Structure 1
Amino acid sequence: MNTPFYIARRYLWSKSNNNAINKITRIAAVGVIVATAALYIVLSGFAGLRDFSLSFTNVFDADLKVYPQSGKTIRTDANLRQAILTTDGVLAVTEIIEERVYLNFKGKNHIATIKGVDDRFEAVVPVDSILFINDWFRSGENEAVIGLTTSVKLSLGTYDYSELLEIYAPKPGTGQILDPQQAFRKERVVVTGVYNVNEDVDDTYIFADINLARRLLDYDENTISGLEIKLNPGADPEVVKTALAQHFGNPVDIKTRLQQNDALYKMLNTENVAVYLIFTLVLIIALFNVIGAIIMMILDKKGNLKTLQNLGLMGSEIRKIFYYQGVLLTAVSGAIGLALGFIIVWCQLQFGWVAITATLAYPVKPTLLNAVVVLATMLILGVIAANIASRNVNEKMLSRI
């Protein structure tokens, strides 16, 4: 039998004759419970917020996107498209043309990016899931789909034939232009639908047929801005990315969905780490109460320590009693706190107690990884706190009993 552990376990559940020490121990336990629960709740909240933020990119961004490494365009043909489609892991590919344009509707103006897409775009990006009202544009027609933010800014609805949306794109070239009318190409389109992804995307992109974008920018049929690719379920994006790079004669950048949104991922991960460190500091402060409680317990048990010495326990074994007591107090309180945190997170999932808007509950996501991180953090800090407190039991102290 591990005698120090057995005695520490008895001390943990037994009440002291000194009521003040009992209160200090309870306060220390409650502090660890609250700090552990708070750490788990916050990490679950950030996990939910991360998934909520990235859910928009999962809908809008393709699994892989091919960009020109320099310049604005790349050359493509039927052979290249076939080579990409026959690459292992590739399910669908679509050509896109992107360029900044100027929008005008009834005297209201807006700068946006036209995204010309072909009929295969819907096989790569689920447009049905982003459409807010009405319909996607028809191929070969002067029609467009705009974002909700753009619609509000221009006071522009759908199927308004009384006055069409005007799209202007600057003509390439050098030299001075005296007539502004000669500086731009113009297309007039009917807005057939409004999409809604998030405020930034809604404000940026206007979707139209790729042939309309070609006319607007004076591109030939083999000139595009890039390719968007959908992968088979389970395909490794990095492996497919390496295989695709061999099909292009000129250098291109091929980015996974993660790389397309690397700034967003970095921001979310940085915020997650920052909050973890802040709440770990709260847990450290709570563990100071544990140190104080163990030290008070050592002083209260001085009479028992003499008895234990007479029974043959060494100073190191007596020190272990209070070390184990500190670890047990932290572990039990931490487990209760983690369970409490999980219950609160589960209730938020079920009942949406905290809401961002009237119809949107704050997103949370209970994960095993967060539970492991919280337990590991709490146990490591608890071991350190117990070790600090138990060092008060030394030979000098025992010799004075």
Structure 2
Amino acid sequence: MNVSFYIAKRYLFSKSSNTAINIITWIASVGVIAGALSLFVVLSAFAGLKEFSLSFTNKFDPDLKVLPASGKYFKVDSFQKAQLQKHKDIALYSEVIEERVLLSFKSKNTPAFIKGVDTTFPAISEIKNAVFLGQWLEEDAYQVVLGNDLSRKLSAGVRDYSGLLSLYVPKPGKGQILNVKDAFRAANATVVGIYSINEELDKKYVFTDIGFARNLLQLSENEVSALEVKVSPSADLNSVRNDLEAIFKQKVEVKDRIQLNDSLYKMLNTENLAVYLIFTLVIIIALFNVIGSIIMAVLEKQQNSKTLLNLGLTKTEIQRIFFFQGGLMSVAGGVVGLLLGVLVVLSQLYFEWIMITPSLAYPVKLEFINVLIVFLTISSLGFLASYISSQTVKRSLR
């Protein structure tokens, strides 16, 4: 094997007397380099897009969210609150009330979700930093913070005292409704702030104090829609999840960020896989040049191969020469392509050549896992192509 490997290296770096073979070899090498470069750059771009997309949900979603196993609400008694406060891996928790409402400001209406939060909520979520106009809620006040999209739909500004924002929720019950006003409970509040996270959240939530939400929905003091939990950095999420389920005696379900955004994660992972497969197909097409290059080398070195056979090398050992030659060509091309790809990604990170908006550069992320994926893909497909092309040695030595 050492003899085969040594001769393969000599063949790889030596120049052929046939110009056509030299051109084919260069085309094959450039194809492998371009394939590795493009695959790595695209995977890095998708990693950046994934991180950029999830950064919005990470600002808003907690580490763990406790939801009722059935129905809209569940009760949290004083003993359960004490257990939550004493838990070594739970840094903070916040009580939350969520319900669908109809917002009305002057003559404009739009549906939304009210989200009543307590004073701990801003420490769990980065929502307070997303308020770009006005201020965050005061405790026990009839105030709301609107999403940017909701604010535009309602034409509602901050502290616009020419009219209060009205919130309507349907009353539970049965039977025929004769008066539409009897079907809803209503409350008025002042818009004190406007936040902006992303389009989906900006048009969905209106934040208010949890006391205001409970009064509007006529809930008791210990009823909540959810508990949003911030865990310690070193904590094991699965362990905390099991503890939370035990505290509430399996009457709740506990979801992490991935489960809360299951469709988003599935979409991003599916897109990433699809792009990987498409560019792998491009690499496979490029490796046909490697197959052609090795076959041409086998034909050119046919006389040398017969000489090596007479000197005592077996057909298998001679076959390995061309197998190693193709494999080395693929690995070397992959390494060069990866180095160029890393330089491209780093240049985008530091110099921001490509911009999405005047203030936002196209997101990319340099990850070791992508380096490993590209290297293994190029190497495995390259050696497969080399094995296929090296089979012609046996026929040439008959």
TM-score interval, smaller chain = over 0.9
Contact 1:65 / 1:227 at 8 angstroms: preserved in 2?
yes
Q: TM-score, normalised by structure 2?
A: 0.97
Shift of 1:249: 4.3
Q: Does 1:398 align with 2:397?
A: yes
Matches of 1:314 and 1:80 in 2, distance apart?
77
**Equivalences for residues 127-166 of structure 1 within 5 A:** 127-166=127-166
Q: Deviations over 1:347-373 (max 9, x none)?
A: 111122222222111111111111001
**Equivalences for residues 219-238 of structure 1 within 5 A:** 219-238=219-238
Match of 2:271 in 1: 271
Q: Which segment drifts farther, 254-263 or 324-333?
A: 254-263
Shift of 1:302: 1.7
Shift of 1:106: 2.2
Shift of 1:155: 1.8
Contact 2:101 / 2:114 at 8 angstroms: preserved in 1?
yes
Q: Which segment drifts farther, 323-332 or 182-191?
A: 182-191
| Runs of 4 or more above 6 Å deviation | none
Match of 1:107 in 2: 107
Q: Which segment drifts farther, 380-389 or 246-255?
A: 246-255
Contact 2:302 / 2:396 at 8 angstroms: preserved in 1?
no
Shift of 1:319: 0.7
* Secondary structure at 2:140 match in 1: coil
Q: Deviations over 1:183-225 (max 9, x none)?
A: 1111111111111111101110000011111111111112111
* Secondary structure at 2:112 match in 1: strand
Match of 1:389 in 2: 389
Match of 2:98 in 1: 98
Contact 1:238 / 1:256 at 8 angstroms: preserved in 2?
no
Match of 1:209 in 2: 209
The gaps in structure 1 that reach 5 residues or longer are none
Q: Does 1:239 align with 2:239?
A: yes
Matches of 1:223 and 1:355 in 2, distance apart?
47
Matches of 2:19 and 2:178 in 1, distance apart?
92
**AA partner of residue 14 (structure 2):** S
**AA partner of residue 98 (structure 2):** E
**Equivalences for residues 364-379 of structure 1 within 5 A:** 364-379=364-379
* Secondary structure at 2:97 match in 1: strand
The gaps in structure 2 that reach 5 residues or longer are none
Matches of 1:359 and 1:256 in 2, distance apart?
32
Matches of 2:299 and 2:315 in 1, distance apart?
15
Q: TM-score, normalised by structure 1?
A: 0.97
Match of 1:9 in 2: 9
**AA partner of residue 386 (structure 2):** A
Matches of 2:364 and 2:80 in 1, distance apart?
44
Counting matched residue pairs gives 398
- Identity level (%): 51
* Secondary structure at 1:103 match in 2: strand
* Secondary structure at 2:219 match in 1: coil
Match of 1:286 in 2: 286
Match of 2:175 in 1: 175
**AA partner of residue 314 (structure 2):** M
Task: Note the aligned Cα RMSD (angstroms).
Answer: 1.2
**Equivalences for residues 117-128 of structure 1 within 5 A:** 117-128=117-128
